[in-house]
């Protein structure tokens, strides 16, 4: 049934390593975090390889502000930036972006797309992803 499928998907999504599952202790308002992250993106500009991570983080903050369309645009920009920066090595670096996209699509009720992004994120315990988690938490 529909609710069983969405419950099973939710259970799988909770296993992902991404902004939606990390227990980020946000001691500052999302609005201030958005401003900080936008400044970081502007400061680093291209060809900064880490820009894709900033876009994904900013997308999560936009989601917290109920700006889902903007969050979706930023996640797409994150994917594009990572692909441009890393070429053939992009897939393993897209784990967080795909996880965030899966959650965003889930919250929008688009379970098929959510499942599709979940499927893209098959290696949720990749060492690079764990290092990225540390970097993002330190950044916040």
Average pLDDT per 10 consecutive residues for the chain, totaling 140 residues: 81 90 78 78 63 87 93 94 88 90 95 93 55 50
CB atoms within 10 A of CB 125: 9
pLDDT reported for residue 110 = 95
pLDDT reported for residue 132 = 56
Show the domain range for 95. Answer: 2-139
pLDDT reported for residue 91 = 85
Give φ, ψ of 115 to 5 degrees.
-60, -40
DSSP conformational letter for 111 = H
pLDDT reported for residue 47 = 56
Q: How far apart are CA 23 and CA 75, in angstroms?
A: 20
Q: Are 85 and 52 in contact (CB under 8 A)?
A: yes
Q: How far apart are CA 140 and CA 124, in angstroms?
A: 22
pLDDT reported for residue 126 = 55
Q: How far apart are CA 38 and CA 58, in angstroms?
A: 7
CATH number for the domain spanning 14: value is 1.25.40.10
Please tell me the total count of domains within the chain: 1
* Cα 126 from chain centre: 15
pLDDT reported for residue 134 = 46
């Amino acid at each position: 049934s529909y609710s069983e499928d969405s419950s099973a998907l939710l259970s799988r999504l909770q296993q992902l390593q991404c902004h939606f599952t990390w227990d980020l202790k946000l001691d500052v308002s999302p609005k201030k975090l958005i401003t900080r992250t936008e400044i970081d993106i502007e400061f680093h500009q291209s060809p900064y390889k880490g820009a894709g991570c900033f876009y994904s983080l900013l997308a999560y903050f936009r989601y917290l502000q109920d700006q889902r369309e903007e969050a979706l645009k930023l996640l797409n920009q994150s994917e594009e930036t990572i692909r441009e920066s890393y070429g053939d090595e992009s897939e393993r670096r897209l784990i967080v972006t795909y996880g965030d996209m899966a959650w965003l699509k889930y919250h929008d009720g688009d379970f098929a797309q959510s499942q599709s992004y979940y499927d893209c994120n098959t290696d949720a315990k990749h060492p690079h992803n764990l290092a990225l988690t540390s970097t993002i938490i330190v950044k916040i």
